[in-house]
Homo-oligomer: A and B are copies of this chain.
Amino acid sequence: MPTLERSNPLPLYYQLKEVLKQQINAGHLAPHTAIPSEPELVAQYHVSRATVRQALTELVHEGLLYRQHGRGTFVCEPRVQQHTLSELTSFSEELRRRGKRPGGLLFVSELVRGSQTVREALRLTDEEQVIRLERLRTADDEPVGYEVAYLPYPRAAGVYQRAKEVADGSLYDLMASEGLVPYLAEYSFRGDAPTDREAELLRIASDEGGVRLECTTFDETGAPIAFTEGFYPSARYDFHVTLRVTK
């Protein structure tokens, strides 16, 4: 049994989480079997019950454990995949997982006033401008999606300076390095046909269907930091999302 290191700068509850995660992922703890009780973990790892509970509570929240009052704490069945926001919209991550090589082209990066839809989503006044980034996303050099992203101007000025970097990379990574850290995203999507420009860029027929997606991204404080529109042809790309019930 591994021990927790008090000399380790990582918190004890975090070290305990890692130990339990590893035992679960390594298969030492089968699904629906009970892990040691809280008093047992207290004795085994020489920490207080509050520390044990902080570790367990976070693992429950992450979907690895579930508790039953009066019975014990049990291992969840393994999940197919936990898709996070960054994985969903970072084509790099998602495409690599599907065995494809991600890439992209940055067409336009400009400072504009923005439509009313965009200004409302970003909660901007009529005077403020937005950064507009137009991108074609590719997988194995085949175009799989067309995206236009809008960022609030004064705040995302740093992203504007470095816009060239997002051609084949993650816009979210660039934003995060400039202090605009995505935390929550609201998606709206529907089946649709491409516009003429989209059909041309994606090299598809104008009656070929696809998904039209709108996304507003917020930081931890609830402030909007990006608004994105995109079109993804059916035959080239599909989406995967995981939702958890909020209690």
Contacts and interface: CB of A to CB of B under 8 A. Distances in A.
Contacts of A188: 238-241
B192 A209 contact: yes
Interface string A196-227: 00000000000101111000101011110000
Interface residues of A, number: 56
A4 to B, nearest CB: 21
A83 B66 CA distance: 23
A242 B245 CA distance: 11
A184 B84 contact: no
Interface stretch (A12-20, A70-78, A97-105, A128-136): A70-78
A69 interface: no
Contact of A86 (B61, B234, B245): B245
A187 B245 contact: no
Given A66-B220, A79-B184, A222-B77, A85 B245 contact: yes
B218 A190 contact: no
A61 B234 CA distance: 35
Contacts of A88: 243
A191 interface: yes
Contacts of A85: 243-245
Contacts of A239: 187-190
A161 interface: no
A46 interface: no
A108 interface: no
Contacts of A86: 245
A232 interface: yes
Given A221-B32, A241-B241, A243-B241, A189 B189 contact: yes
Contacts of A210: 190-191, 209
A50 B50 CA distance: 10
A143 interface: no
A186 interface: yes
Top 5 nearest A-B pairs (CB, nearest first) are A77-B222, A76-B222, A190-B238, A209-B209, A191-B210
